[in-house]
Chain A
Amino acid sequence: MLGIGWALRRVIKNSEDFFLSGRSIPAWIAGLAFISANLGAQEVIGMAASGAKYGIMTSHFYWVGAMPAMVFVGLFMMPFYYGSRARSVPEYLKLRFDEKTRGLNAITFAIMTIFSSGISMYALAKLLELVLGWSFHWSIVLSAVIVLIYIFLGGLTSAIYNEVLQFFLIVLGFLPLVLLGLKDVGGWSGLTSKLATVATNAGFEPGAWSHSWKYMDSPSHNPMGMEWFGLVMGLGFALSFGYWCTDFLVVQRAMAAGSMTAARRTPLIAAVPKMLMPALVILPGMLAIGLHATRGGFLPIGDDGQPNYNLAIPMMLAHYMPSGLLGLGLTALMASFMSGMAGNVTAFNSVWTYDIYQTHIRPGQTDQHYLRVGHAATVFGILASVLAAYSATRFNNILDMLQLVFSFVNGPLFATFLLGMFWRRTTGHGAFYGLLTGTITAALHYGLTLPRGAVPGIKGGFLGAVLHTYPSEMALNFWTALFAWTGCFVATLLISLFTKRTKTDDELRGLVYSLTPRIQEGSMPWFKRPVTLAVGILVVSALLNVIFW
């Protein structure tokens, strides 16, 4: 199977340059690439791990988080991105504000890519450990070598094509797993009764794992330890909008579309399959924990005495899949791990080389010099990812760690974007010090609080005093994001009011909402307009929330 993928890659690689020229990708391809850029291994492994650890409340990442955020990106953010032709977030910040805001964002973004790639590396190493029976250390070394080779062979040259292929590979590779698991436990009702055992064992009401909203009246009633306000604001608003609006690995896919309208429709088209994704990625985790609780010993127990939820998908594969289909499932996983790592390391490379090194450290060198720096950055990025992969071993759910990183980077950044795009009075000083304040607020909150049962260190509480203990890692992340967003928003607002504008209205044309010409869609039939699609998506997500209430 790996061989087929490899052979196909060669064919595809030669044709894509061709295909991409002139930004004329059909909307459905851009849409699939848009979710595929985000449907990495982190998502598959992390969402299943969360499904096991927190139950169906994980669906809030989709039906409360991603859906409204993707609609917002399509309707309101794409016009600026597409119109300004910015090719990265740092570039947009430079156009809208100034060089120092771009530099600060480039640094936090570079750190984020390292953690993301490290988390993929951890997941790949765990899988190799399981399949090959190697020790974790050697599996990490092998993963690092694989990604190095992948990048130097030009792994990302055919990114969008590969992503569409991978999307289908993941969907068709995991669907039989879900179907077999559901059949085994006796359908949804069988699963609910198994999850009731999980919930009562953990000291909750029997429905705590199978109801998404019912037990959110108080943090002590549900496994995630959240009440509805913190969840809607922290996850739904700060984290999800922050992620979907500012993550350029994802946004770039939409920018490859042929026209402004097509670019706006891309996230909306992507939202349709995205809405159904919980069945594919969260359900296997819920099945795994149900089987773990009722048949025993399904998930291995980690050092902290908790099951290692990260292994939900690999263990399910090993349990149900005979050789043959097992190969398909493993190929799907490995392909997405590799592209996840390669994508992040490549992004690290370009941000470091162009946004930091060339701009702030040594400008005006030859292209060859920067190319060498880029190669060195790739190697450095992989080594740093190894460290991040080891820190991921401390988390029994990689989504906990991933969202922690996002709460530091995307949470405050979203406040900067919101003010920058919708308030022309926002100044460069305001944006820079606001972003700094937001990041420091996140660090203070993270350093002074701790999830229940954790020791001070990588999980928080390292500033000496622990002012508050959250019921779960995820609850800490949501509140960190909310604090960071608020810190950045307030600081940017106040500082902007007390500093002078450095950009004139003319320079901000196409970068600020009130200075950008409205898009005319009068000639389009109503059912093709982005707004219609957006309303439909929101209605269906609301229905899904009600069904699984």
Chain B
Amino acid sequence: MKLDVRWPIGGMFSLIGMLLIIYGIVSNPALYERSLGINVNLWWGLVLLVFGLVMLALAYRAHRLLVH
């Protein structure tokens, strides 16, 4: 069986996304002055998490198709 590259990609970005979201929630808002007042850690963390989960879902679907 081959390891689908989407597993590690999905896993990595989901993890990074979650870490960024947590950091975005607990960090001091003053940190975001340089990023035009936008909490980019929170928002981009969400984007990364969604991307990671989509990759995992695609990998899972391909795996299911392979098994059947």
Residues of chain A touching chain B, judged by Cβ–Cβ distance below 8 Å, are 1, 4-5, 8, 11-12, 15-16, 18-19, 29, 161, 164-165, 168, 172, 176, 180, 183-184, 319-325, 328
Query: Nearest Cβ distance between residue A168 and chain B, in whole angstroms?
Result: 6
Q: Which residues of B from 10 to 46 have beta carbons under 8 Å from A?
A: 11-13, 15-16, 20, 23-24, 27, 31-32, 34-36, 38, 40-41, 44
Q: Mark B28-68, 1 if CB is under 8 A from A, else 0.
A: 00011011101011001001100100000000000000000
A485 CB to closest chain B CB, in angstroms? 38
B31: which A residues are within 8 A, CB to CB? 322-324
7 shortest A-B CB distances, which residue pairs? A324-B41, A15-B3, A322-B31, A324-B23, A176-B44, A19-B2, A164-B5
Give chain B residues whose Cβ lies under 8 Å from the Cβ of A161.
5, 8
Q: Is the CB of A328 within 8 A of B35?
A: no
A29 to B2, CA, bound (A): 13
Could you tell me if A18 and B3 are in contact, using CB atoms closer than 8 angstroms? yes
Nearest-CB distance from B41 to chain A (Å)?
Answer: 4
Greatest chain B CB density within 10 A among A11, A168, A324 is at: A324
A172 touches B48 (CB 8 A): yes
In the complex, what distance in Å separates the CA atom of A184 from the CA atom of B34? 10
- Tell me which of B8, B9, B15, B40 contacts A325 (CB under 8 A): B40
| Closest beta carbon of chain A to B21's beta carbon, Å | 10
14 A-B Cβ contacts within 8 A?
A4-B16, A15-B2, A19-B2, A161-B5, A164-B9, A165-B5, A168-B13, A168-B51, A172-B48, A176-B44, A180-B36, A183-B36, A325-B35, A325-B44
For the complex, what is the distance from the CA of A320 to the CA of B35, rounded to whole Å?
5
- Contact: A325 with B20, CB < 8 Å? yes
Chain B residues touching A, majority SS: helix
CB distance from B56 to the nearest CB of A (A): 13
Known contacts A1-B16, A172-B13, A180-B40; is-contact A321 B35 (Cβ 8 Å): yes
| Assembly CA distance A319 to B51 (angstroms) | 26
Binding site for A on B (CB under 8 A): 2-3, 5, 8-9, 11-13, 15-16, 20, 23-24, 27, 31-32, 34-36, 38, 40-41, 44, 47-48, 51
Q: Which listed residue, A12, A172, A183, A319, touches B8 by the CB 8 Å rule?
A: A12
Report the nearest A residue to B24, measured CB to CB. Answer: A324
Rounded to whole Å, the gap between the CB of B3 and the closest CB of chain A is 4
CB atoms of B34 and A320 under 8 A apart = yes
- Residues of A within 8 Å of B15, CB to CB, are 4
Point out the residues of chain A lying under 8 angstroms from B32, CB to CB: 322
Q: Which residues of B contact A183 (CB under 8 A)?
A: 36
Which residue in chain B gives the minimum CB-CB distance to A16?
Answer: B3
Given A183-B36, A322-B34, 12 more pairs with CB closer than 8 A: A4-B12, A12-B3, A18-B2, A161-B8, A165-B5, A165-B12, A172-B48, A322-B41, A324-B40, A325-B20, A325-B44, A328-B20
Chain A residue numbers with a CB within 8 Å of B41 are 322, 324-325
Q: How close is B29's CB to chain A, nearest CB, in angstroms?
A: 10
List of A residues within 8 angstroms of B8 by Cβ: 8, 11-12, 161, 165
Residues of chain A within 8 A (CB-CB) of B44 are 176, 325
B5 to chain A, nearest CB (A): 5
CB distance from A383 to the nearest CB of B (A): 34
Collect the chain B residues with CB atoms within 8 Å of residue A165's CB: 5, 8-9, 12
Distance from B13 Cβ to chain A, minimum over Cβ atoms (Å) = 7
**Which residue on A lies nearest to B31, using beta carbons?**
A322
**B36 to chain A: which residues have CB within 8 Å?**
180, 183-184, 320
User: In the bound complex, what is the Cα–Cα distance between A4 and B38 (angstroms)?
Assistant: 26
C-alpha gap A16/B2 in the complex (Å):
8
Name the A residues within 8 Å of B12 (CB-CB).
4-5, 8, 165
Q: How many Å from the CB of B33 to the closest CB on chain A?
A: 9
In the complex, which residues of chain A have a beta carbon less than 8 angstroms from the beta carbon of B9?
A: 164-165, 168
Q: Report A35 CB to chain B, min CB distance, Å.
A: 15
B16 touches A328 (CB 8 A): yes
Bound-complex Cα distance A19 to B8 (A): 14
Name the residue of chain B whose CB is nearest to the CB of A324. B41
Q: Give the Cβ gap from A11 to chain B, nearest Cβ, in Å.
A: 7
The answer to whether A176 and B40 have CB atoms under 8 Å apart is yes
Query: What chain B residues lie within 8 Å of A176 (beta carbons)?
Result: 40, 44
Q: Using Cβ atoms and an 8 Å threshold, which residues of chain A touch B2?
A: 15, 18-19
Bound-complex Cα distance A543 to B51 (A): 29
Q: Report the bound CA distance from A29 to B3 in whole Å.
A: 13
In the bound complex, how far is the Cα of B23 from the Cα of A180, in angstroms? 19
Q: With A and B bound together, what is the CA distance between A325 and B31 in angstroms? A: 11
CA distance A1 to B48 in the complex (A): 14
